[in-house]
Amino acid sequence: MTDGPRILICDDEPGIRKTLSQILDDEGYTVDAVGLGQDALQRAFSEDGPRPEAILLDVWLPDVDGLTVLDRLRAGGLEIPVVMISGHGTVDTAVQAVKRGADDFLEKPLSLERVLLTLDKVLERHRLAKERDALKRELLSRTGDDAAQETLLGTGAAMRRLLDEIARAGASEARVLITGESGVGKELVARALHRASPRAAGPFVEVNGAAIPEELIESELFGHMKGSFTGAIEDRKGKWEQADGGTLFLDEIGDMSPRTQAKILRAIQDGRITRVGGAKAFATDVRIVAATNRDLPAMIRAGTFREDLYFRLAVVPLVVPPLSERPEDVPLLVTHFAERLARRRGRRAKAFEPEALEMLARRRWPGNVRELQNLVERVLLMSPGPVVRTADLPPEDRPAAARAPSHAASDEFVSYATLADAREAFERRYLSRVLADTKGNVSRAAERLGLDRTTLHRKMKALGLDAEQE
């Protein structure tokens, strides 16, 4: 009896059920076959036995059509792969099936090779999706500022692709080289790889090649023995040894000297390290993840980075996309940073009006996510109201018309006899504009202005403003 993935076949033709069952059984699948849609639903939602891991579902069934069965599966929260099959296949039927949640569509007469390839593809895709979702849930379930720093956020195609790659690479022991511009979140990717790996319970140890002086990097990596150099007053473990059983993250690998590169290469090749001043080499069990914002192939051509080390590190290359290539993720990141700052300050998070989010999404962001985070915190601290508007954004993010008042407007206010007269004129014009923007909705206008409704009504009355007229 096989113990492979459990496949449910639902087709009204006994011959097809029999043939598919035999073929899938020979391929190691565990097969169940029914001829009615109701029976398929009963099997799929059964609490008494194991549920199917994928369904081959005929469109035309005697009791209820396959698309209706598909709808009920999805409405019931069942996310397993469903491949629709039909002897009357049309492009429209296939499109409808995919729109309603099918993972693929096959036409009769069935090519058995195509059936096997399709099943293999949808099961693998579903497995990766589950791993990615589990990883995302773990990342998003963390709380507090440190956890927020470690969260990879994004729903666009570029981020979904990266999360899929992290899920696949994380499950292996292969060395990974992460590349991308400064500020894109390479360290977050490294930590996500560690959490997705069999080493998740082990240590995650980071070494920043750009932050450690050349004369100390060898001791920092491999440790030292007491008396091996001035200041070495006791034996000390290096980062490599500290990461035993876990992941060693070599950040800014492109900034390490040729001498350090050679020692890292030797440690990777031998699987053994020697402390500075020590005579005995010992084995370590470390997975290496490296990262850089440098162009390593160009450095290899220039002779400043070892080609043999590059190929040792880049077993699995991951490229983190810049924020300019995923503008659809900007609103989500803005909200995340706003909520994080609010938690830190013990206050309610400010909202961003849609126009402000659109402007931020259109920006190029040369500093990537780090630059966006800094800007959001600055804007939230400086904006006066509960809602961040386009006028609250830095000048480079605002449309030209909103950056500065015209000379005509300035000259107009100079004509008022007193400051009180000018202030009253400004307040009347400002409130009139906000009421117009909110279509006379006083509650929405009060929220935007940071006032309570009663105070706004009193100001409107004093200034002779009527919400409906405005």
CB atoms within 10 A of CB 291: 26
Higher pLDDT, 281 or 451: 281
Give counts: helices (H), strands (E), the chain: 21, 14
- Tell whether domain 407-463 is in CATH 1.10.10.60: yes
Q: Tell me what pLDDT residue 142 has.
A: 42
Q: Is the alpha carbon torsion for 431, 436, 441, 446 positive or negative?
A: negative
Instruction: Return the structure tokens found at 96.
Output: 């409808």
Is 67 or 426 the better-scoring residue by pLDDT?
A: 67
How confident is the model at residue 8, as a pLDDT? Answer: 95
How high is the pLDDT of residue 49? Answer: 77
pLDDT digits over 123-174, tens only? Answer: 988 887 776 666 655 554 443 334 334 567 887 888 888 988 998 888 888 9
Tell me which CATH code domain 156-321 carries: 3.40.50.300
Give domain limits for the chain.
6-110, 156-321, 325-403, 407-463
Least confident of 163-172, 331-340, 402-411, 456-465: 402-411
Summarised one tens digit per residue, pLDDT across range 259-279 is: 899 999 999 988 888 888 888
Give the three-state DSSP class for 466: coil
CATH class of 325-403: mainly alpha
**Topology agreement, domain 6-110 and domain 325-403:** no
Q: What is the pLDDT of residue 224?
A: 85
CATH code matching the domain that covers 6-110, chosen among 3.30.70.1140, 3.40.50.2300, 3.10.129.10, 3.40.640.10: 3.40.50.2300
pLDDT averaged over the chain? 82
Summarize pLDDT for 164-188 with one digit per residue, the tens. Answer: 899 888 888 899 999 999 888 899 9
Cβ contact 170:152 at 8 Å: no
**Is-contact 170 204, C-beta < 8 A?**
no
Taking the whole predicted model, whether its pTM rises above 0.95 is answered as no
DSSP codes of every residue in 73-111:
HHHTT--S-EEEEETT--HHHHHHHHHTT-SEEEESSPP
Averaged over 422-440, what is the pLDDT?
Answer: 76
